[in-house]
Amino acid sequence: MEQKFKRDITSLEGIFTFIEQFISSNNIAPSHLYPVQLVIEELFTNILKYQSGGKSDVVVHLEKSDNKLIIRLRDFDSEPFDLTKSEEVNTNEYIQQKKPGGLGIHLVKQMVDSLDYEYNNRTSTITLTKHLEM
């Protein structure tokens, strides 16, 4: 199941509804709704922030495979930005430094089981997997 979304903050509401429909129609426990919405919001807003020159829509793809949820975001007009290589956030140091920011990707990494990035012909593909308890 996938859908295109305009690269604009106002798309978030539609993205949340799309995720809710997917979770519901695939009999996935409602407890997964919050983390899935959170990781997709963080990745989508990251695209808006760091790929602001891009013109294309962003495709959100959701798929249930065995006991796994596969989440994929594709941005067809982007510069390379490999999230998997972003610096690890030490939250204790972060608090001591008293500087907000950079938490989104940290949260994504905490909430999924794998995070992959591919870049080809100006297209960035971010793929996450999350195990679903039986």
Partner 1 sequence: MFHVEHGTEGTIVLTGRLDASQADKAKSVFDNITESKVIDLKDLEYISSLGLGILFSTQIRLKESGHQLKLINMNDHIRDVFKYTSFDKMFEIE
Q: Which residues bind partner 1 (CB under 8 A)?
A: 9-10, 12-13, 16, 31, 34-35, 37-38, 41-42, 45, 91-92, 94-95, 98, 100-101, 103-104, 106-107, 110-111
Whether the Cβ atoms of residue 124 and residue 118 lie closer than 8 Å to each other = yes
**Nearer of residues 76 and 94 to partner 1, judged by Cβ:** 94
* Shortest distance (Å) from residue 97 CB to partner 1: 10
Q: How far apart are CA 106 and CA 87, in angstroms?
A: 9
**Nearer of residues 107 and 119 to partner 1, judged by Cβ:** 107
* Shortest distance (Å) from residue 119 CB to partner 1: 24
* Shortest distance (Å) from residue 125 CB to partner 1: 22
Q: Which helix (H) or strand (E) holds 5?
A: strand 2-5
Q: How far apart are CA 103 and CA 3, in angstroms?
A: 26
Whether the Cβ atoms of residue 58 and residue 39 lie closer than 8 Å to each other = no
**Nearer of residues 10 and 27 to partner 1, judged by Cβ:** 10
**Nearer of residues 3 and 46 to partner 1, judged by Cβ:** 46
* Shortest distance (Å) from residue 34 CB to partner 1: 4
Q: How far apart are CA 90 and CA 106, in angstroms?
A: 9
C-alpha dist (Å) from residue 113 to 30, 33, 88, 122 = 18, 16, 16, 26
